[in-house]
């Protein structure tokens, strides 16, 4: 495996910072208010810092992260497709703007769904966005995440693909939880890629007999109820 370049390392640092500040990828940090920025040090704050106990070490934090199920290291957010257009240089791709409740506006994401949805069907769709993936260049378009779908192979050999949809009452930007599992503790995009977290979760992600999205039987949940497809039962989610 080749070592990451300086540019790749810088992109990882930027992605991690955006995640901590709840910024949409590529957003202008000036959208943050003064209240969201860390306060400047003064003499009193420096004294207070000396009195504070040392924070947990990185090793302890890393060890705690290892104890949670892999699916809890991913971040799935409720989103709404607000704009969609055909990728000019790719036959199967749509380009989308998806509102996931982040400062700075919607994310730009590319999806290979032109064989399964029309532009009219895509626009206004409520979807689940995997939001802590490392950005990818897809035929010249930088995609900041992916939408989650379920798929099944029909009798004629063709594939049916449909969105896993959050219920109407779930607010944009809500982070999905998993029934019966600890609260999600998403890791940084660079760690998702390095540790192959999404790939490790894929085998367990399937719809059940009620078309509800699950991971090893644990339901994808929002405050308004479970996330589900329209008709795919027992289909792989990706």
- pLDDT tens sequence for the chain (238 residues): 445 565 666 666 666 666 556 566 665 555 555 444 555 555 554 554 455 555 555 444 444 556 899 999 999 999 999 999 999 999 999 999 999 999 989 999 999 999 999 999 999 999 999 999 999 999 999 999 999 999 999 889 899 999 999 999 999 999 999 999 999 999 999 999 999 999 999 999 999 999 999 999 999 999 999 999 999 999 999 9
Per-residue model confidence as pLDDT tens digits over 3-16 = 556 566 666 666 66
Which residues lie closer than 8 Å to 226 by C-beta, 6 or more apart? 167, 179, 212, 213, 219, 220
Query: Domain locations in the chain?
Result: 70-237
Task: Specify the residue for token string 């999600």.
Answer: 184
The third-level CATH classification (topology) of the domain covering 70-237 is OB fold (Dihydrolipoamide Acetyltransferase, E2P) (2.40.50)
Cα distance between residue 19 and residue 2, in whole Å: 26
Q: Which residues contact 113 (CB under 8 A, 6 or more apart)?
A: 92, 94, 122, 147, 149, 161
């Amino acid at each position: 495996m080749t070592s990451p370049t300086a540019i790749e390392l810088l992109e990882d640092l930027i992605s991690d910072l955006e995640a901590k500040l709840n910024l949409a990828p590529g957003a202008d940090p000036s959208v943050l208010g003064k209240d969201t920025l860390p306060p400047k040090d003064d003499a009193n704050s420096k004294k207070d810092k000396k009195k504070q106990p040392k924070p947990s070490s990185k090793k302890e934090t890393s060890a705690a992260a290892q104890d949670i199920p892999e699916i809890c290291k991913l971040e799935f957010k409720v989103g709404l497709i607000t704009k969609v257009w055909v990728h000019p240089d790719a036959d199967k791709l749509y380009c989308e703007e998806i509102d996931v409740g982040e400062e700075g506006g919607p994310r730009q994401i590319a999806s290979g769904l032109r064989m399964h949805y029309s532009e009219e069907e895509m626009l206004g769709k409520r979807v689940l966005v995997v939001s802590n993936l490392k950005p990818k260049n897809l035929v010249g378009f930088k995609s900041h995440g992916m939408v989650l779908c379920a798929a099944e192979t029909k009798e004629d050999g063709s594939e049916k693909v449909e969105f896993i949809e959050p219920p109407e009452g779930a607010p944009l930007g809500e982070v999905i939880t998993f029934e019966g599992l600890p609260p999600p503790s998403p890791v940084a995009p660079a760690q998702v890629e390095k540790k192959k977290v999404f790939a490790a979760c894929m085998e367990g992600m399937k719809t059940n007999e009620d078309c509800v999205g699950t991971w090893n039987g644990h339901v994808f949940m929002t405050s308004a109820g479970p996330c589900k497809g329209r008709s795919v039962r027992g289909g792989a989610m990706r």
